Chain A
């Protein structure tokens, strides 16, 4: 039932069903609706958290489907997530105790005031969604890494754990299949997952951990964008039948495989470890944050 695309990094380039991520969107929507109906997370300040999350993820999935289907132009893809920022802005504005500041280690607290609602939240959504979408193309990469970031965020917010518990399990199952090269989550999956991570972080007020966790993503995206900006070249990794290798350093994947042939699985493992490292760092900073500030 799903459109099939060839897997470029396998011998024989077998056809793999793409866009399975939409199942995640459907599952999550249903799950969050059930959470809403069960009354586990009652509306606070007149806004319902599970429904806000559901709307954002639905929108991410919708956008990804459009992209899967008609290859949206970059300028649309970059700015479309802004629409999904609206429910989140509304949610934080309705919360009288919303923190409009981000506390950075060493630098101290930066208070954005009103700019937080209309600048910082849209930026978070835009950056996270797009950078998560950009790091992909290898089996398991686009599903495993966001899952790691999400798990880090969930560990830090036991109160909101229930919101994402079901979807996370479902996502991990998809990741398992993805790692074995049986399915692709597609843009619908990666946009939805990027949206999940971003909106979950805004709802749970975990901005700093999010920022630390997505450093590898931002690094990857800046590398790609800068290359395109200066040389108008896209990063390309070549596949010799068994291993991946690259002759330039224009993205995270090519940087790792630069003159160093690695199997696809190994590349994924390396990048996942990097993401894991930053996520653990994020968890550690926010757990130790108060202590560090005193020392």
Chain B
């Protein structure tokens, strides 16, 4: 009895958390990194607090928000099951056809909707948009935790910590997980990292079969989640197949590999094809087929492992080769691979993409200039290279994966600016390995006895403790110039520049960040609340596609186009509306039943040489900078417009050079067609209105006299009340004017009869 009691007490004592100094330091460092990751991601909240609520950044997150909203309102599967399985069509966007919300990836909105429902059920009363705004911040922080675990598996806790720090501070990843960036990449990186973590554990031979099965199933779920979260899942599928192929080439095939592989991919694809948008066609796409081929190959290897006569071996190999190649050719010929292959090839070969202006006009689809990559990595690139070197020298399974991950993601990042975000985790892991690899001999020296002699080829070098200390310090200084005082961002920490910038709508699309924008720019918010309060949700407002989501989701009106860019004909037509002379535009506007048209312009002031008056001129952050894309995109459909009788051969245009040219001073000069275009009149009248309004207290002239449009009457111009002094104090002198015109159909019918 007494013994049992004593033993019981002892076992109770054993419950106490066993810990030591090193792990306390490690976990506090991790906590600190996560805290930093979270804090810098919420920095934009500084501009949101004065407006009273949290909004979303840029444009695409509003699409995800509207899906989430639908799920919260009408049930988790409503966007896919409504209308007898046809899916939800949002008629407030892409009028008259509507936006088919069936074709959307569900992971992000579903995760958000489920979490929102849970916290609402727990009694936390928060606006859905505010919740969605914070969502990326939380999941960005979780990604940092995940990369710590991945790094810990690869090279111990210190690799994990460095990798977490690198990922937390990677500018591209930071931008896409900062406050309000409620978009697919957020979960994409979470999915990618959890797949990496689980799959690498699954194929680890040192684990028991049971845990291997467990991890394979987990990896399968993570992969399915990733496929449902981000279109770039192709990348991970390709990478995983490449990785397994590399293992086979390195003669590391094992039964465990076959088991994990089939379980993971079987489960993942089985779940993925049930996602409405993805469907069975996914299995026959050019990227997914290699998975099947790889599976076949692994099966053959398994057969070959057993005692089979060499004749059978040869026969089997030949037969499977013929089957794989024949299958590919047959599918290619049958045209199964065209659609998705095209998209994939556009990343593999960026020059295919640059031929299409509609894709190219989106900044994040462009080919990364090397400057982007350098800005992103700084001199940390040496640690990345060192990491590659150390991984090559010690090609364990994990390091092989890391090598492939690093090399391929670097290529894709160079091909498309947006994909820099995929490169961020690979860079973090490799750079962490590089740093530790370089410093390892030195910090072991620091720990051990001094006067350790190192034999070198030419001479005997004695390296003392202090000397190693200096090396560690130099590496530290290099990291300081990388993170804190980087030359490429003028000494300001890079993350500060990326993170400390307001949400696009709260800055009214002005390119101001940090201290340059002392208060939220209200102009766009004013416009959106005006449309919400004064217009019906069915009122059609025509604008360039960038503002579509804002107007339809926050402004609650019906729009013609937005960032979904599902209907390029409609975008060409909108380009036509803006670029054609008024009377021709009206024909097109009539087709769309449009009641209002909106342009956005930004003005800057130059003072005259004697300082007695100011000249207002366009500075190019609004539609005055975007109209050349309107001209180029609508110019592509030149023949269609002529055929359909919208305009005659000599009125037609192909690109912006038909509307003017740069003069010798590098300034743009409009020609006749230019000054007659609708967009010119709408912009110049908005500018003139601001000038007329402002000249009460100052003498202000417009650089070009404004032209009043004939059929468009001022409905509401946001930004007219902004005075010169306010603009200088609040927006560094920039003046945003959001101009909503009512289309005067009476005048048009009276004129045309």
Contacts and interface: CB of A to CB of B under 8 A. Distances in A.
B568 interface: no
B461 A90 contact: no
Nearest to B465: A1
Contact of B463 (A3, A55, A84): A3
B351 interface: no
Given A59-B478, A65-B470, A51 B487 contact: yes
Contacts of A139: none
Interface stretch (B44-52, B451-459, B724-732): B451-459
A105 B385 CA distance: 41
Contacts of A267: none
Interface in A255-287: none
Given A59-B379, A83-B382, A36 B485 contact: yes
Given A26-B470, A83-B382, A71 B458 contact: yes
A251 interface: no
Contacts of A68: 461
Contacts of A58: 474, 477-478, 481
B437 to A, nearest CB: 12
A54 B481 contact: yes
A7 B52 CA distance: 73
A70 B456 contact: yes
A89 B487 CA distance: 12
Contacts of B486: 51
B676 interface: no
B397 interface: no
A3 B456 contact: no
Interface string A1-17: 11111000000000000
A192 B165 CA distance: 29
Interface stretch (B244-252, B488-496, B509-517, B695-703): B488-496
Given A22-B470, A25-B474, A55-B379, A5 B489 contact: no
Interface of A is mostly: helix
B379 A86 contact: yes
B371 A93 contact: yes
B489 A46 contact: yes
A5 B477 contact: no
Contact of A48 (B379, B471, B487): B487
Interface string B676-703: 0000000000000000000000000000
Contact of B490 (A4, A18, A47, A84): A47
B486 to A, nearest CB: 7
A2 B471 CA distance: 12
B584 interface: no
A19 B467 contact: yes
A84 B473 CA distance: 19
A1 B463 contact: no
A48 B490 contact: yes
B381 A62 contact: no
B411 interface: no
A65 B364 CA distance: 40
Interface string A43-81: 100111101101100110110011011110000000000
Contact of A36 (B374, B458, B465, B491): B491
Contacts of A25: 474
A162 B438 CA distance: 34
A33 interface: yes
A29 interface: yes
Contacts of B464: 1-3
Contacts of B475: 62
A48 B491 contact: yes
B466 interface: yes
B462 A4 contact: yes
A96 to B, nearest CB: 12
Contacts of B381: 83, 86
Contacts of B487: 47-49, 51-52, 54-55, 87, 90-91
A93 B454 CA distance: 43
Contacts of B375: 90
Contact of B474 (A61, A83, A90): A61
Nearest to A63: B382
Interface string A106-124: 0000000000000000000
B477 A29 contact: yes
Given A3-B464, A65-B474, A59 B382 contact: yes
A69 to B, nearest CB: 6
A71 B379 contact: no
A229 to B, nearest CB: 21
A46 B497 CA distance: 11
Contacts of B473: 26
Contacts of A86: 374, 379, 381
A28 B487 CA distance: 15
Nearest to B459: A5
B456 A71 contact: yes
B490 A46 contact: yes
B195 to A, nearest CB: 32
Contacts of B470: 22, 26, 65
B71 to A, nearest CB: 43
A3 B463 CA distance: 5
Contacts of A46: 488-490
Contacts of A89: 374
Given A26-B473, A51-B486, A90-B488, A3 B467 contact: yes
Nearest to A118: B370
Interface string B425-467: 0000000000000100000000000000010111101111111
A68 B457 CA distance: 12
Contacts of A62: 382, 471, 474-475, 478
- Across the A-B interface, give the 10 residue pairs with the lowest CB-CB distance, nearest first: A43-B490, A51-B487, A1-B466, A52-B487, A48-B491, A3-B462, A46-B490, A55-B481, A71-B456, A48-B490
Given A29-B477, A47-B489, A62-B474, 6 more contacts: A1-B465, A4-B462, A55-B487, A62-B478, A65-B474, A83-B385
21 contacts: A1-B464, A1-B467, A2-B466, A2-B467, A3-B467, A18-B461, A48-B487, A48-B491, A54-B481, A55-B478, A58-B481, A59-B478, A69-B454, A69-B463, A69-B471, A71-B457, A71-B458, A83-B385, A84-B379, A90-B371, A90-B487
